[in-house]
A and B are shown apart, each in its own frame.
Chain A
Amino acid sequence: MSFLENEMFLLALTFTVFLASRLLQKRTGLVFLNPILVSIVVLIAFLSFAGVSYETYSGSCRYIDFWLKPAVVALGVPLYRQLEAIKKQILPLLVAELAGCVVGLVSVVLIAELLGASREVVLSLAPKAVTTPIAMEVSRAMGGQPALTASVVICTGIFGGMAGFRMLRMSRVSSPIASGISIGTAAHAVGTSVAMEKGYRYGAYSSLGLTLNGLFTALLAPFVLELLGYAV
Chain B
Amino acid sequence: MILQCAVLFVFMALGEFVVYATGIPVPSSIIGMLLLAASLKMRLVREMWVSKVADFLVKNLGFFFVPAGVGGMNCFGIISDQWLPVVGASVASTFLIIACTGRIHQITRKYLSGRKHELFRE
Contacts and interface: CB of A to CB of B under 8 A. Distances in A.
Given A151-B71, A159-B94, A214-B27, A74 B53 contact: yes
Contact of A147 (B61, B63, B71): B71
A89 to B, nearest CB: 6
B33 interface: yes
B112 interface: yes
Interface residues of A, number: 112
Given A43-B70, A69-B12, A219-B26, 10 more contacts: A64-B67, A68-B68, A78-B54, A80-B36, A95-B104, A111-B93, A147-B74, A148-B75, A148-B78, A163-B94
Interface residues of B, number: 72
25 contacts: A36-B69, A64-B67, A67-B57, A70-B9, A71-B58, A71-B60, A75-B33, A83-B41, A96-B101, A116-B85, A122-B85, A125-B85, A129-B93, A137-B27, A147-B74, A160-B98, A171-B98, A175-B106, A182-B97, A182-B101, A182-B102, A182-B105, A189-B65, A209-B101, A214-B30
A132 interface: yes
Interface string B10-31: 0110010000000001111110
Contacts of A73: 8, 11-12, 15, 29, 32-33, 36
A57 interface: yes
Contacts of B69: 36-37, 39-40, 151, 154-155
B85 A115 contact: yes
A36 B32 contact: no
